Amino acid sequence: MEVKLLFVIVVALVAIDHSDSNEIILDGCRGECYGVEVPYPFGIGNSNVGTPCFLEKSFELTCNNTISSLTLGNIPVISINIYQGQADMLSYVSKYCYNSSGVSSTTTDITLTSIRSFTISSKDNKFISVGCNTYGYLNSFYNNTEGYSTGCLTRCYGNNMEIHDGYCSGIGCCEVDIPPRMREISTIAGTFDFENFTGPLDFNNNCSYSFVVKNGNYTFSKEHLVNLPFDTSTVVFDWSVGNETCEESRSKGTITCKGNSTCVDADTGYGYRCQCKKGFEGNPYLHGCTDIDECKTGQNSCVSDHNCHNTNGSYICFCPKGQSGNGTKEDGCHKKNVLPHIFIGASAGFIAILVGTCLLYLTYQKRKFFKLKQKFFEQNGGLILLQKGKESSHTKIFTANKLKKATNNYDEKLIIGRGGYGTVFKGVLENDTVVAIKKSKIVDAGQLQVEQFINEVIVLSQINHRNVVKLLGCCLETEVPLLVYEFVSNGIHNENKRNNFNWENRLRIATEAAEALSYLHSSASIPIVHRDVKSANILLDEDYTAKVSDFGASRFVPVDQNALATMVQGTIGYLDPEYMQTNQLTEKSDVYSFGVVLAELLTGKKPFSFVKLEENTNLATYFLSCLKEDCLFEALQVGILNEGNKQEIVEVAIVAAKCLRLKGEERPSMKEVAIELEGIRLMSKCHWVNNGDKNFEEIQHLLPMSSSSEKYEHGDSSSGSHQNTKYDSIIKDQEVLIALPSGR
């Protein structure tokens, strides 16, 4: 009875996590080609929904119907092993033949320099040369320059007595090891004076052969001296993912190894491989590895499978009722001695004590868990929220269990964005509502983190605007605080979608974003400065309605104050130069950042380039210089300009230039910007604006006038050259705290 109780306790303490998925390919992708299985991270083309079937471009394969083979580039692939990180491919044999008609030769090149993920395995291949009076070279190349060579030779001198089938000993056949880390090679076969050689061997065709072949895939025969019976050989390639080590990828959050797997640096000097942990199997690059049931597969050391209990990643051996021992084949099980009744009674008493102790322990744990939730509530700013009860009364409080279930225990596959203050997950609540859940990062000095989190709750709870992302609620009873938002599926920071936006959509999105910022500055009970206005924080719903998001850095500006003294915070390329110099945050700082967004929508360029060779690293400077030099239309993104919208584009460019003035007092307010953009939209709907008889040359003449009279009338404060010098000096001299986009 004691053994049974202990067994139940042990089983209760073991967490079993089985996964139903043993898939090795992505959904909607082709899983094989001419009998060859194609496991992820490899893939053939795109899925039936248009997404790539491969992890990265170097793993894209082709099902070549012309040669009835699966190929990587132009190399046929015959098998792929995701557990050992290897792939078997075919390579041609190099030949050098001599007969009465003359000499013929072929050289084999294996070129994978463009696919650095693949390396010829030095452990699983051999370089072999076959023939009499034969030599073979294996040359390696790096960047089209010869690196190093190896090879072997064999001479028979007409003596066939020492040539034996099955032995590649150096007479008739020779072999050498493959040097490590070879990606691009050339094999060459040659002969020693075949033309003058005569001997007792009767060769119908005097040929020499050289090739790389997988260990064990070739057995020498004397008949091969007359004719080698194959033209291709199997070669083993080692492959790896990524282009950094495990540690570097893990620190950047780009590692692809999934659950129950480990990361191993590739010994080829490039990237890494993923391997399932002991006791697990599956595809570590796709759904992760699942538990192996050792009790069903016979991979256990128990007396029998009936004496085996499977656990997550391992198993437990036990003895049948009435026997004692550890249940393994080594020690086995033994029959118990009949215990006196006194020991049975003592056992019953012990069990009663044990049960009572367990109940007390469970009660203690429950109280401890309750206190821990209270601690997290206070630690995550719950008391601050209670003190601000009126401001946050409309905020719903979610339990940790509901949000954990909504995100499938915060599955990494549901991550839709990462930012300076946390990670955003896509989740589905019990009522099938799709939400975005922001999980803040854990930091040692957590007070600033808590203030940022509570600040965002308080700011968003007061906002009710169609162009501002809606806060649904929060959760404070976990170690990491959580915010729950409405889910917005798109963003103008998505490069593919942004390139497809026509001018009308861009103008509408800019107008809606301006209206949202105008609301924050002018209509909220206390003016709110967003402080991180950028294209990544302007999201689009299903109807492509703009919604401003991410208020983690936002600040209230009391009615009796015009500016706040704060540590400079924002995203490089969007930061207000005046704010960076003075640390004085005003509503005009958002206006400057919005001007950069307008320049992005017009030019399609990034706000700041970190490439040293890039001519125009700062978009604001570049954009203003284009206006000054009358080359606006040359700077526009290809595809948005047409005969009907030239004047609208000029007007929007003028608004952007006003926003980008260096002095905050010279910039318009967001309310004025929103009114101007709405006016331009209404103007575009009027028939006279699209009149083909409108003289475009007159409109173009407005640009330099506007540039000089409107945008540059304040002298050096807004000149392109001055701003460039000023901005560069600020970047060098001012330490700026950059908050990465949260992706929400």
State mean pLDDT over 348-364.
85
> What angle do helix axes 619-628 and 646-659 make, rounded to 10 degrees?
120
Catalytic status, residue 532: yes
pLDDT at 479: 78
Average pLDDT over the chain, rounded to an integer: 78
Q: Write out pLDDT tens, residues 671-685.
A: 999 999 999 988 876
- Please give the span between the terminal C-alpha atoms of the chain, in angstroms, as a whole number: 57
**Cα separation, 282 vs 288, whole angstroms:** 6
pLDDT at 507: 93
State mean pLDDT over 15-28.
57
Contacts 24+ apart (CB under 8 A), 676-680: 676/651, 677/507, 677/510, 677/511, 677/514, 677/652, 678/511, 678/515, 680/507, 680/648, 680/651, 680/652, 680/655
What are the structural domains, with CATH classification, of the chain? 2-17+300-335 (no CATH), 25-81 (no CATH), 86-239 (no CATH), 369-487 (3.30.200.20), 491-738 (1.10.510.10)
pLDDT at 726: 30
Q: Write out pLDDT tens, residues 104-157.
A: 777 666 765 456 688 899 999 999 999 888 899 998 876 666 678 899 998 887
- Indicate whether this model's pTM tops 0.75: no
pLDDT at 276: 93
Give just the sign of the alpha carbon dihedral 510, 511, 512, 513: positive
Give just the sign of the alpha carbon dihedral 539, 545, 548, 549: negative
Range among 7-11, 210-214, 409-413, 728-732 with highest mean pLDDT value: 210-214
Strand-pairing partners, residue 290, are 281
pLDDT at 185: 83
For residue 408, name the pLDDT band (cuts at 50, 70, 90): very high
For residue 692, name the pLDDT band (cuts at 50, 70, 90): very low
Q: Write out pLDDT tens, residues 693-740.
A: 343 343 333 333 333 333 333 333 333 333 333 323 222 322 233 232
Write the single-letter amino acid at 245.
T
Q: What's the number of CA atoms in the CB half-sphere (13 Å) around residue 605?
A: 22
**Cα separation, 439 vs 446, whole angstroms:** 14
SS3 state of residue 375:
helix
Give just the sign of the alpha carbon dihedral 215, 221, 222, 224: negative
Q: Write out pLDDT tens, residues 592-603.
A: 999 999 999 999
Residue 614 has pLDDT above 90, yes or no: no
- What dihedral angle (degrees, nearest 10) is formed by the CA atoms of 669, 672, 677, 680? -150
> Which of 88, 238, 291, 532 is flagged as catalytic?
532
Under 8 Å CB-to-CB from 483, ≥6 apart: which residues?
A: 437, 438, 453, 456, 457, 460, 471, 473, 474
pLDDT at 200: 38
DSSP track, 467-489: TBPPEEEEE-SSSS-EEEEE---
- Residue 486, judged by CB atoms within 10 A of its CB (0-12, 13-18, 19+), counts as middle
**Cα separation, 505 vs 544, whole angstroms:** 8
Q: What angle do CA 131, 132, 135 make, to 5 degrees?
A: 70
Residue 495 has pLDDT above 70, yes or no: no
Residue with the bigger pLDDT between 648 and 558: it is: 648
**Cα separation, 647 vs 703, whole angstroms:** 10
E-strand stretches of 220-271: 232-239, 261-265
**Cα separation, 724 vs 615, whole angstroms:** 12
- Report yes or no: 54 and 47 within 8 Å, Cβ to Cβ: no
